[in-house]
Structure 1
Amino acid sequence: MHIHHLAQENSILNSFISEIRDAQIQTDRMRFRRNIERIGEVLCYEMSKTLDYKPKTITTPLGKSNTQLYTDEIVLCSILRAGVPLHSGLLNYFDDAENAFISAYRHHKHNPETFEIIVEYLACPSLEGKTLILADPMLASGQSMVATFEALKPFGTPKNIHLVSVIGAQDGVNFVNNHFGKDTHLWIAAIDQTLSDKGYIIPGLGDAGDLAFGKKLQH
């Protein structure tokens, strides 16, 4: 798998990452969502450099302009609910993409420190021969990303697969690296080295879904 760790190079991306981590700033839900969206835009821009392009001539009011436009048929798939702001950032750039949404959550059956990933809701177009962008802001254990991809397999075989995350744990990166093909690309803003016994990224940023949309009801 090709791993693109953008925080290894200094850029404006560092500012967005620092704000979503900052316990004081992240209390502003609107700013948190917007920063996740902006990180998605940066990741999307970098990823766009790897797509297939073909030449096209554009007619302007004063003449002709030659350019290169991407030819990939793109499907954006985000894991609900934390993936919604990240999805918006990707869609800001790939505005003609098809869209898929899937729910995946941790189910603690007996032990609070162990869990399985449950996939329930899924809406997806055909993936056959297309470029799949699978987005989940937090790549902790990596199990959600793998479970989601398994659920998408009945919809066809993509031509290319890109995974997009905001913050990941090294364990999660290793896990998806072992479960996706060598031609898969992972685009990630920051990688932290520690994953807690309960499967949370440290230092991470907390629960991205709660920070973006408020705490969910427990049942």
Structure 2
Amino acid sequence: MSNLPSNVHVSRHPCLLAKLSQLRSQSTPAREVKTLIHDISLIVGCEALAQGLETVPGPTDQTPLGFDYQTHQINPGTISLVPILRSGLGMVEAIQTLLPNPVPVHHLGLFREPTTLSPVEYYNNLPYHVSESGSGNSNAPQLAIILDPVIATGGTCAAAIQTLREWGTRRIIVVSVLGAEPGVRAAAAEWPDAVEVWLAGLDDELTERGMIKPGLGDVGDRLFMTIGK
């Protein structure tokens, strides 16, 4: 992992390694898959936001005993969560738990075309995501946090990064459970100056169908019990 791009971060947290092992198992039921995705997202998100956020002084407040204290507020001031449908939905609650205040959640629907493995966008609810001039939207957040549990070929994640860049966001943090090294490199290279990729684990290979090997299967199917559809 020492040769990974500088904007790719793979956690070494021992609890993550243990939980990821549990998540990989074919015998893990859907209810536990949901819990594990939440727990892993919480830990990876905590590491990512510790590096990706800062605080600025806020107004003075008082404790219940009447003592004044200096408050702190998150910087940047505008943040959006962008889960990639469907599987990214399983990560939203964990990141919302970490952030001190509610933030908008904007959904992107992307799937891989089975033959070419190229990303296809089928849903986008970014408000005014491209301006008439094509220069982006001034109302875009300063920071967008992409929630994508699995980065396999990297095409879907890279397409999401490009869409958010066109929208006008200034910086992106990608939070993921598992990636394949070739795909993670591709996603990280899409906008290296403004994107940081954080993962719980990294595998080396992809199958001919673009699935991570050994991987953890299709997270969306496992979360929503649609395996074999």
TM-score normalised to structure 1 length: 0.87
Contact 2:149 2:219 in 1 (8 A): yes
Distance in 2 between the 1:185 and 1:178 partners? Answer: 10
Distance in 2 between the 1:5 and 1:58 partners? Answer: 38
Partner of 1:151: 163
Q: Does 1:107 align with 2:113?
A: yes
Contact 1:40 1:90 in 2 (8 A): yes
Aligned length: 209
Deviation at 1:67, TM superposition (A): 4.7
Q: 2:183 aligns with which of 154, 172, 187?
A: 172
Distance in 1 between the 2:47 and 2:18 partners? Answer: 17
Q: 1:97-148 CA deviation, whole Å, 9 max, x = no partner?
A: 111101101122xx4xx32211011112466351111111000000001112
What is the correspondence of 1:20-169 to structure 2 with a 5 Å cutoff?
A: 20-24=23-27, 26=28, 28-50=29-51, 51-56=53-58, 57-62=60-65, 63-72=67-76, 73-94=78-99, 95-108=101-114, 111=115, 114-125=116-127, 128-155=140-167, 157-169=168-180
Deviation at 1:181, TM superposition (A): 2.2
Partner of 2:132: none
Deviation at 1:182, TM superposition (A): 2.6
Distance in 2 between the 1:31 and 1:58 partners? Answer: 41
5+ residue gaps, structure 2: 1-5, 128-136
Q: Does 1:186 align with 2:188?
A: no
Deviation at 1:15, TM superposition (A): 2.5
SS of the residue aligned with 2:192?
Answer: coil
Range with bigger deviation, 132-141 or 49-58: 49-58
Q: 1:60-89 CA deviation, whole Å, 9 max, x = no partner?
A: 111123353312211000110111111221
Q: Percent identity?
A: 25
Partner of 1:11: 14
RMSD of aligned Cα (Å):
2.0
Contact 1:99 1:124 in 2 (8 A): no
